[in-house]
Amino acid sequence: MKKLLLLGGGGEIGSAIKEKFIACGYEVLAPRSTELDLSNSQDITTYMDALKGEDFDALIFCAGRNNPALVGQQSLEEIQKTLQVNCVGLAQIVGALRAGFERRRGGYILGISSLYGSISREGRVAYAMSKHALNGLMRTLALELGPSGILCNTLSPGFVKTKMTVKNNTPQTIAALERKIPLGFMAAPLDIAEAAYFLCSEQNRYICGQDIVVDGGFMAGGFQHI
């Protein structure tokens, strides 16, 4: 049975990814935040040490921290924690799993990024920094691990109808966003899960080092200020 290590599987997108892979015959290991605290590098080391000898066919990083604030109004501690959770922790985890992936001569590593990995918006300093960094990390991994047959990509959802979206945007903002999406509606978590499965399946033989945007056409006309 194929195995997936899913980090950040407790959110709505992560849960949809987990359900999709299980339905497709995968064994999915998806530690909760109480089992693996991505904000704590020592906790990551302890968790990964416990997994030594265990190989995975795919690693999907779906963890996310997003507390909007303007520059100067967000603490350095919050910025550092967002970077740690959204990007730095993944670099540490890949470092621990790299030998196993290379030994198997194949596999998939997918980071769930965001449109804010390419653009930004007022009040998203920490989040945009972390997602830009995540995209850079995954492109570097593509260069380093591609020769071993490991396909590394990011998947950037557009606006998805989740609790986080509702928390961080007013109803008026959500309505304005949907008017600017060519398809006219926000994605469901399942739409993102389907794309994630394709990128980490045998159907994907040649997509590597890319940021795949799933946004209903929102970015096609360039970023539209809201």
Which residues are catalytic, by number?
Answer: 114, 127, 131
Question: What are the beta bridge partners of residue 112?
Answer: 155
Angle at 166 between CA 164 and CA 171, to 5 degrees: 160
Which of 210, 217, 112 is CA-nearest to residue 156? 112
Strand partners, 181: none
Give the chain's length.
Answer: 226
Token couple for 132: 């830009």
DSSP letter (8 states) at residue 150: E
HSE, CB side, 13 Å, CA atoms: give it for residue 114.
27
